[in-house]
Amino acid sequence: MKRIAIVGGGISGLSAAFTLEKQRSQGMPLEYALFESSPRLGGVLVTELVEGCLIEAGPDSFLTEKPWAIELCRQVGLSHQLIGSNDPDRKTYILVKGRLVAIPDGLMFMVPTKILPAILSPLFSSRTKLRMAQEWFHPPRKAEHDESVAEMVERHYGAEMVDRLADPLLSGVYGGEAGHLSVRAVLPRFAEMEANYGSLGRAMLAAHKRTLKSANGPAKPLFTSLKDGMQQMVDAVVARLPDSSLKTSSVVQGLQRQDRGWLVSAGYASDQFDAVILATPAQAAARLLYPTSEQLASELAAIQYTSSITVNLGYNQKVRASLPPGFGFLVPRNEGKRMLAATFVHNKFPHRAPPDRALLRCFIGGTNCDRELQLPDEAILQTVREELRQIIGLSAEPLFTRIYRWKGAMAQYGVGHLERLQRIDDLLTQLPGLALAGNGYRGIGVPDCVRSGSEAANRGLTAAGLGDSKVTASV
Ligand SMILES: Cc1cc2nc3c(=O)[nH]c(=O)nc-3n(C[C@H](O)[C@H](O)[C@H](O)COP(=O)(O)OP(=O)(O)OC[C@H]3O[C@@H](n4cnc5c(N)ncnc54)[C@H](O)[C@@H]3O)c2cc1C
């Protein structure tokens, strides 16, 4: 019987466990244990039902175009629960000098593909509009080095595009700043498009036309979620794992390499395994690996994380009727607010709030969020309510509020991240039986975490002598 340990019971660790369970239940001579430090499984995936409103404490959905989360949902019997975002009502605003301006039609992520709506939009100055027209004629360029998203976007469209769009859009996903994030790691398609077309606008339009041509049936929604909340994914996976494999409230404090395998220490007990999957944030993996490989630990510790807070507020029908249509708004840093974004949940996923309720989800995050994390709920709420008053004139008393703090949960892929992953891969080849998974490596979204967990499980199986020997060490 071979034994595999998984450390970390967020969606990455659960996906690894589910991959192992599929093999075990088909007769593979395998035993596994999943160690999770908190009393509950799921990591940042938490759903709460409050007064008929479905509140997501962490992720509220995932990108439809990345298939791995949807595939996992199907495998655990949740096909009927998959829902798409309400895209016909998709409209997002940017706060510009204190006023909300709608993102113009034809903007794909931050790339304008329709000139007229962009030219007519008050979101950009004449100077940026001129840059957009000139961008169409950029010659192809293959960058020799990685650079930040801000540097690339500025080269194409100027600094205003970075401040008003690139930075707020990335803050909403990574809680990070466009000036720090690696274009190759965060927007690999942009680097490819620049190399092949030069102009991001022309490249994006060509890709869009190809998608339309090959599409069968109606367009897919941008985001997918689960009808009764993201927590369903956790519950359905956990229901398929044997209780005896799940070790909650078990902090792994030590990891020791042995002649054959690894010794995992949690609480007062230590146990021997043939392979170990570390599905924790990279910083936690670094601490565990320090005694084994200082070099690997320092590469992992260099992957930065930021914290975030979601503040959820429920309101009555009167407020709902007074809010602007659309999915919500983004707040550029230079607007001087603490809030980075707000989602009008009742529009994005209508069934998540009864018709007579408005549900707002505000997001505080980024490099300076650690100060806010220390503040009491009342102080956080006061800031958010004051900013909602300034931005959308909302001063009504909420019917209920819920605040969730996520310390160091959002990985930041800095410039040079892919080169770091290559060094990590090289170091992993010297540590047989060790696999890494999680949001610190090749994708922060839920689908990428699901994929990373199942790939790590396959590497664990190979290391334990049970899997396909062609699977190599890699994060
Ligand atoms: C507020 C917020 C909103 C988000 N929104 C979206 C979204 O809308 N769409 C999307 O796709 N993604 C979103 N994300 C990102 C995505 O949810 C995460 O990247 C992903 O869920 C991370 O999963 P994980 O399992 O890798 O990590 P985590 O969920 O952080 O799980 C890691 C687990 O490891 C455990 N652990 C750590 N150290 C130890 C130890 N020594 N021993 C045992 N256990 C340990 C922790 O307790 C934790 O449970 C969001 C993230 C946040 C925080």
Question: In this predicted model, what pLDDT tens digit does every residue of 308-317 receive, in sequence order?
Answer: 999 999 999 9
* Cα 105 to ligand 1 centroid, rounded to whole Å: 33
Average pLDDT, the chain: 94
Given a cut of 80, whether residue 470 has pLDDT beyond it is: no
> Left if phi > 0, otherwise alpha if psi is -120 to 50, otherwise beta: which for 83?
beta
Q: Measured between alpha carbons, how far is 149 from 392 in angstroms, rounded to an integer?
A: 30
The residue nearest atom 34 of ligand 1, judged by CA position, is: 8
pLDDT of residue 211: 79
Which has more pLDDT, 60 or 175? 60
CB of 106 within 6 A of ligand 1: the answer is: no
Say how far apart CA 315 and CA 389 lie, in whole Å: 14
Q: Supply the residue whose CA is at minimum distance from atom 2 of ligand 1.
A: 58
pLDDT at res. 474: 78
Evaluate: CB of 47 within 6 angstroms of ligand 1.
no
pLDDT for position 174: 83
Work out the average pLDDT over 314-330.
96
CA distance 299 to 296: 5
Lowest-confidence segment of 149-153, 431-435, 463-467 by average pLDDT: 463-467
**For residues 371-389, average pLDDT:** 96
Q: Quick one: pLDDT at residue 366?
A: 82
Q: Could you tell me the pLDDT band of residue 2, with boundaries at 50, 70 and 90?
A: very high
* Protein residue whose Cα sits closest to atom 36 of ligand 1: 8
Share of the chain above pLDDT 70, in %: 99
**Which residue's CA is the nearest one to ligand 1's atom 6?**
59
C-alpha 122 to ligand 1 mean position (Å): 37
Q: Is the pLDDT of residue 473 over 90?
A: no
Cα(44) to ligand 1 centroid in Å equals 4
- Find out whether the beta carbon of 446 lies less than 6 Å from any atom of ligand 1: yes
Give yes or no for a contact between 162 and 152, defined as CB atoms under 8 angstroms apart.
Answer: no
pLDDT at 375: 95
pLDDT of residue 104: 93
Is the shortest distance between the CB of 43 and ligand 1 below 6 Å? yes
From residue 348, alpha-carbon distances to 88, 90, 91, 360, 419 in Å are 10, 7, 10, 10, 37
Which helix (H) or strand (E) is 362 found in, with range? Answer: strand 357-366
- Give one word for 249, left, alpha or beta, with left for phi > 0 and alpha for psi -120 to 50: left
Q: What is the pLDDT of residues 200-257, one digit of tens each?
A: 999 999 988 887 777 777 788 989 999 999 999 999 999 999 999 999 999 999 999 9
pLDDT over threshold 90, residue 446: yes
Place of tokens 């976007």: 153
pLDDT given at position 89: 86
Q: Residue 359 C-alpha to ligand 1 middle, in angstroms?
A: 23
Band of residue 136 on the pLDDT scale cut at 50, 70, 90: very high
Instruction: Say whether pTM exceeds 0.75.
Output: yes
Q: What is residue 176's predicted lDDT score, i.e. its pLDDT?
A: 85
For residue 173, how far is its CA from the centre of ligand 1 (angstroms)? 13
Smallest CA-to-CA distance from 327 within 285, 363, 276 is with 363
Give the pLDDT band (50/70/90) at residue 469. low
- Other beta carbons within 10 Å of 149: 29
Q: How high is the pLDDT of residue 106?
A: 87
Report the pLDDT averaged over residues 411-435: 97
* Minimum-distance ligand 1 atom for the alpha carbon of 57: 1
